[in-house]
Structure 1
Amino acid sequence: MLAKLAVACLWLVSWLPFRAVGALGSMLGTLLYALPTSRRAIGRTNLRLCFPTRSEAEREAILRGHFIAIVRMVLEYGYCWFASPARLRRLVAIEGLEHLTSLSPDTSVILSMPHFTGLDLVGLRLSLETPTVTIYARQKNPWLDAFIRAKRLRLNTGIVFSRQEGVRSSVRALREGYRLYYLPDQDHGLRDSVFADFFGVPAATITGLPRLAALTRARVIPCYPRREAGRYTLVLQPPLADFPSGDLSADARRMNAVIEQQVLAVPKQYFWLHRRFKTRPPGRPPLYEGKARASDDSAGGEPSILPPTID
C-alpha cells in the first residue's frame, strides 16, 4: 500500500513544472539535511576525505546542496515514469551527442555514467536517441518491482536486465547493437575490484568497465548529467582513447580520474551518501563510524532515502 501511495504522489508531482519540482525539492531537501542522520555523517566523511583543502563551510554547502539534489531526483521519478517522449526531450538536452552518433552502428558502445542525481531521467532521455540496455536492482516488493520494470520499458526504446542475471545478457545485447548504460563507481567489496585512488583516497574500484570493453571491443563514452534551472543537460564526452589498456589497475585509475573531473563540474550532484571507501586496503583502519547497513553493503544497494532502482 505504501509503495502504491508513493507512486500516486509522484504521478501528481509529474504534472508540476520542472522549476516547481525544483523549488519543492529545495524545501524538502533542506529539511532532510537538517536531520542528524547517519547518511549526513557519511556525506561529511566523504567530502572531508575528497576535499581536504576546502573549508568546512564549503563542504557543508556542497552537502546541503546534495540533499536538495537527492530529493529533487526522487520527485523527478514522476517524470521518468509518466512524462511523454516530447516532454522528456524538453526536460533533458544532450550535449556532445555527436560523440555517439559519429560511431558506426556496428560499434559496441558503453556509456559510463557515475552515480549522479538525475541519472535515471537522462538515461531514459538518451534511449530516445539510441537503443539502450540498463541493469537494475530488483525490488523486495513484487508489485513495485514489476511497476518499475514496466516503466523502464514503456517507451520501447531499450531493454533492462536485473543484476542477478549476470553480465552475459549485457554482452549479448551489446553485440546486438544496444548501447550499455553502465554505472561503474560504487564500492562492491574486493571481488572483481582493485584499489585505485579517488580524490587521493584508495577506493575499491570494480573492473567491470574495462573487462566488458575488452570482451566486446566496445568504445567507452563517459557521461554525466548537469541539472540546470529549467532542465537537465546530459553531457556526453569523447570516447576514451586506448581504453582498455590491458592493465586493470591502470584502467581503474584512469576511470576514477575521469569521474573526478565530472564531480568537480557538478559537485553537489554527485552521490556522496554511499560509503565509497568502506572497503579498505589491508591494515588500514575503517573510515566510517558505526556498522554499515545491509542496503549499503550489498552490491548495487541504495541508501534508504532513495528508490533503489539503479545498480
Structure 2
Amino acid sequence: MEKPRFRAALLHPRYWPTWLLFGLWFLVAQLPYRWQLAMGRSFGRAMLRMAKSRRTIAERNLALCFPELGDTERANLLIRNFESSGIALMETGMAWFRSARWLRKRCTFEGLEQLQQIQSQGQGVLLMAMHFTTLEMGAALMGMSITLDGMYRPHKNPVYDYMQRKGRERHTGGGSVYQRKDVRGVLRALQHGRAVWYAPDQDYGIKQGVFAPLFGVPAATVTGTSRFARVGRARVVPYVLTRLDDNSGYRLKVYDPIDEIPSGDELQDAILVNRFIEARIREAPEQYMWVHRRFKTRPEGATNVYEGVRKKKKKRRKVAS
C-alpha cells in the first residue's frame, strides 16, 4: 500500500475543524505524562455519563462475562473501564505525536528477544494483538522494536485518515500498512518473513468465522488466524501492553508462540485464540474495550444481547452525477 500523501484538497474549509482538533490533540500530547492520565480519566467519566448507548453495551458485556461479580463490583469495573477508555484517547496522541525515545522511557519489555530471534530466522510472524484500550500505544511501542507491518481500515474523513496513517506509520520500522481486505498482501508479507499485526477479537459476522466460547458465551470468531498462519507459513505470537497501576508507564509482554495453530481444525484454533484472549482480559479487565458489540452475532434462536441499544446510523454516500 502506498505511503500516505498530503493533498491540497485536505485544506478545504470543510476540514478546518478536523485540523483544529489535531492541533489541540498535538498540544495536549506535549503535556506531562501524569497530567494526561488525569485528563483521560476525567474525560472517561464524562463519556460514562454522556455516551449512554456505549455504556449500555459495556454493562451488558460485563454482565455476560463476569456473572460472578456483584452489582457494585461490576459498577466499579465499568467506571474504571471508561476511565481507561479516556486515557486511551490521550495515549493515541502520545503514540502519534511523541518521539520514540519519550515513549520507550515509559515501557519495560518482556519476551521481545524470542520474537526478534524468530524474525532473524526469516520466519513470518502473525503478531496477535487484542483490543485493549492500550492498542495504539502497544502498536507504536512494538513497531519501535521490530520491523512491523500493520492492518488498516480507512477512515471516512480524509484528513483523519491521513493523520491516522501518518501517526501509525511513524513507528513501524519501515514496515507497510495493508487494508483489512488486502488478504493477498498480508499473506505475501508473512511468506517473506515479515511480522504482521493482527487482532482477531472483534465480531465480523459468522460468514468469516465460527462460534467459539469467550467467557462461556458463543462468540463469532474470525478464522483468519488459522488461515494466515497456514497459508502464510507463519508462527502466531501474541503480545499485550498493560498500563501499570502506579501510573509510571507500561509493560509490553510477548508470549510464547501458539504453535498449536494451525491445527487443521479452524474451530479448535478459534477456541485456543479465545481461551488465550480471555486469560489476558482477566488479568486487567478494566483495560479491555468493552464498548464494542463483541456478541452482536448470535447462534440461531439466541436472544439479542444488545436489544434496545440504538445503533449508529450509517451515512449514505452521495453519488457523483
TM-score by length of 1: 0.90
1:96 and 2:111 equivalent? Answer: yes
Q: Distance in 2 between matches of 1:10 and 1:295?
A: 27
Deviation at 1:292, TM superposition (A): 5.7
User: Which has the larger displacement, 117-126 or 155-164?
Assistant: 155-164
1:184-263 residue pairs with structure 2 within 5 A? 184-228=200-244, 229-263=247-281
Q: 1:4 maps to what in 2?
A: 19
Q: Distance in 1 between matches of 2:89 and 2:150?
A: 19
Instruction: Check 1:5–1:77 CA distance in 2 against 1; reply closer, same or farther (3 A cut).
Output: same
Deviation at 1:207, TM superposition (A): 0.5
Q: Distance in 2 between matches of 1:252 and 1:21?
A: 37
Q: Deviation string for 1:89-147 (max 9, x for gaps)?
A: 11332222123123252111111111001111121111112111111111111122122
Q: Deviation string for 1:184-219 (max 9, x for gaps)?
A: 000011112100010000000011011100111211
Deviation at 1:44, TM superposition (A): 0.5
User: Which has the larger displacement, 172-181 or 191-200?
Assistant: 172-181
1:1-311 residue pairs with structure 2 within 5 A? 1-35=16-50, 37-105=52-120, 106-155=122-171, 157=173, 158-164=175-181, 166-228=182-244, 229-290=247-308, 293-294=311-312
Q: How many residues align?
A: 295
Q: Distance in 2 between matches of 1:254 and 1:46?
A: 21
Instruction: Check 1:172–1:187 CA distance in 2 against 1; reply closer, same or farther (3 A cut).
Output: same
Q: Distance in 2 between matches of 1:262 and 1:113?
A: 11
Which letter does structure 2 place at the counterpart of 1:58?
E
Residue ranges of structure 2 left out of the alignment (5+ in a row): 1-15, 315-321
Which letter does structure 2 place at the counterpart of 1:47?
L
Q: Distance in 1 between matches of 2:143 and 2:277?
A: 22
Which letter does structure 2 place at the counterpart of 1:243?
I
Instruction: Check 1:161–1:295 CA distance in 2 against 1; reply closer, same or farther (3 A cut).
Output: farther
Q: Distance in 2 between matches of 1:295 and 1:149?
A: 25
Residue ranges of structure 1 left out of the alignment (5+ in a row): 297-311
Deviation at 1:286, TM superposition (A): 0.9
Deviation at 1:77, TM superposition (A): 1.7
Report the identity percentage.
Answer: 38
Q: Is contact 1:203-1:276 (8 Å) kept?
A: yes
For the pair shown, the structure with the greater C-alpha radius of gyration is 2
Query: The residue matched to 2:176 in structure 1 has which SS?
Result: strand
Q: 1:301 maps to what in 2?
A: none
Q: Is contact 1:10-1:77 (8 Å) kept?
A: no
Q: Is contact 1:92-1:122 (8 Å) kept?
A: no
Which letter does structure 1 place at the counterpart of 2:86?
V
Q: Is contact 1:199-1:260 (8 Å) kept?
A: yes
Instruction: Check 1:282–1:56 CA distance in 2 against 1; reply closer, same or farther (3 A cut).
Output: same
Deviation at 1:28, TM superposition (A): 1.7
Which letter does structure 2 place at the counterpart of 1:114?
M
TM-score by length of 2: 0.88
Q: Distance in 2 between matches of 1:104 and 1:225?
A: 20
Q: Distance in 1 between matches of 2:148 and 2:311?
A: 32
Query: The residue matched to 2:294 in structure 1 has which SS?
Result: coil
Q: Which consecutive aligned stretches of 4+ in structure 1 deviate over 6 angstroms post-superposition?
A: none
Q: 1:302 maps to what in 2?
A: none
Deviation at 1:70, TM superposition (A): 0.8
Instruction: Check 1:56–1:7 CA distance in 2 against 1; reply closer, same or farther (3 A cut).
Output: same
Q: Is contact 1:99-1:239 (8 Å) kept?
A: no
Question: For the aligned residues, what is the CA RMSD?
Answer: 1.7
